[in-house]
């Protein structure tokens, strides 16, 4: 009887086992940390590996990840994540360059920012940035229109580069000014200016190009306020050509004052001449 019961139990167990194999679709493996058999030092898979597919976060170096993927290392200094394909490398560093979070490469490879499967911003190995171009020819090259909100004003207007390198609009309202006084004695100085023809040197942005203008060193002796300087504040660099119309306006006004004075003098002399001619006519009669 005991043998019969054991045989029956074995048959039930076998049937139950095969029913699990036939009808089961997923197998869930639960592990515990620390492992009852030791610490898991390495996880290797040979196919697609899925982690936290429905909920939860994945942590590397942390047991409390606050994001879908969190990489953490309790060290003083940089922690980097490398994405590579064997020839190109992309690094994300928490404290990589200049002690700040960084994204980039560690070789002469360029870096691109992409939207809609097209490169929009290109940074080459020298640090030059191209927007809508992959071959920037300057520190910053933009292939297209540029809008700067700080330069936007009703009716449009001119822009100016300040001595500190800030590009801004030309402000002329009395709200920004004090110690306002008339500019005098322009006409005589303008006559001392020397317009010249010249050719740009090879070291300039337009080598060999014929041009015309003034020599800044000459102008600085007459109108020093028109002169611009290098960063040292001493070496002359150029001229504020955009200010010349202001001086020309004042020169015209001074010239008009001279013309008016001369016109009054001419009118007076003509009146005197008319009187003399009248007296002479009467004397002849």
Q: Which two tokens stand for residue 200?
A: 């740009």
Whole-number pLDDT of residue 6: 46
216, 227 in Cβ contact below 8 A?
A: yes
Whole-number pLDDT of residue 149: 80
Q: Which two tokens stand for residue 266?
A: 């001419």
Does pTM top 0.75 for this prediction? no
Give me the residues of the chain with pLDDT under 70, please. 1-42, 154-156, 285
The span from the CA of 52 to the CA of 60, in Å, is 13
236 falls within a domain: yes
Domain of 274 in residue numbering reads as: 185-285
Whole-number pLDDT of residue 27: 47
134 falls within a domain: no
DSSP letter (8 states) at residue 179: S
CA angle 81, 84, 86 (to 5 degrees): 145
Whole-number pLDDT of residue 120: 94
93 falls within a domain: no
Closest to 131 measured CA to CA, from 89, 101, 159, 139: 139
Whole-number pLDDT of residue 22: 44
Residues in the chain: 285
For the chain, how big is the Rg over CA atoms in Å? 42
The span from the CA of 169 to the CA of 157, in Å, is 7
Range list of H helices, the chain: 2-23, 187-190, 216-222, 244-284
DSSP letter (8 states) at residue 231: T
Task: List all residues 6 or more positions away from 55 whose beta carbon is below 8 Å from its beta carbon.
Answer: none
Q: How many domains does the chain have?
A: 1
96 falls within a domain: no
Closest to 181 measured CA to CA, from 280, 250, 279: 250
Whole-number pLDDT of residue 154: 66
Whole-number pLDDT of residue 88: 86
**Torsion sign over Cα 115, 120, 121, 124:** positive
DSSP letter (8 states) at residue 107: S
Helix (H, G, I), strand (E, B) or coil at 103: strand
264 falls within a domain: yes
236, 218 in Cβ contact below 8 A?
A: no
215 falls within a domain: yes
285 falls within a domain: yes
- Rounded to 10 degrees, the C-alpha dihedral 93/94/99/105 comes to 10
193 falls within a domain: yes
């Amino acid at each position: 009887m005991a043998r019969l019961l054991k045989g029956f139990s074995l048959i039930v167990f076998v049937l139950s086992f095969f029913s699990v194999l036939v009808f089961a679709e997923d197998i869930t493996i639960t592990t515990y940390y620390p492992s009852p058999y030791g610490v898991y030092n390495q996880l290797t898979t040979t196919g697609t590996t899925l982690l936290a597919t429905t909920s939860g976060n994945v942590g590397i170096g942390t047991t409390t990840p606050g994001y879908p993927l969190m990489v953490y290392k309790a060290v003083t200094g940089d922690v980097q994540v490398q994405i590579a394909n064997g020839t190109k490398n992309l690094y994300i560093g928490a404290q990589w360059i200049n002690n700040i979070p960084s994204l980039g490469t560690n070789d002469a490879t360029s870096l691109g920012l992409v939207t809609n499967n097209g490169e929009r911003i290109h940074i080459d190995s020298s640090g030059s940035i191209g927007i809508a171009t992959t071959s920037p020819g300057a520190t910053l090259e933009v292939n297209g229109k540029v809008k700067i909100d700080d330069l936007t004003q009703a009716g449009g207007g001119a822009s100016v580069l300040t001595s500190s390198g800030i590009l801004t609009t030309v402000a002329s309202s009395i709200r920004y000014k004090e110690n306002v006084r008339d500019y005098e004695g322009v006409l005589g100085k303008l006559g001392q200016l020397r317009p010249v023809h010249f050719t740009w040197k090879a070291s300039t942005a337009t080598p060999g190009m014929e041009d015309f203008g003034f020599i800044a060193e000459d102008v600085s002796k007459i109108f020093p306020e028109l002169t611009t300087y290098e960063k040292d504040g001493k070496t002359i660099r150029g001229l504020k050509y955009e200010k010349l119309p202001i001086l020309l306006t004042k020169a015209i006004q001074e010239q008009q004052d001279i013309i008016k004075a001369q016109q009054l003098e001419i009118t007076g002399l003509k009146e005197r001449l008319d009187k003399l001619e009248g007296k002479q006519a009467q004397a002849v009669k």
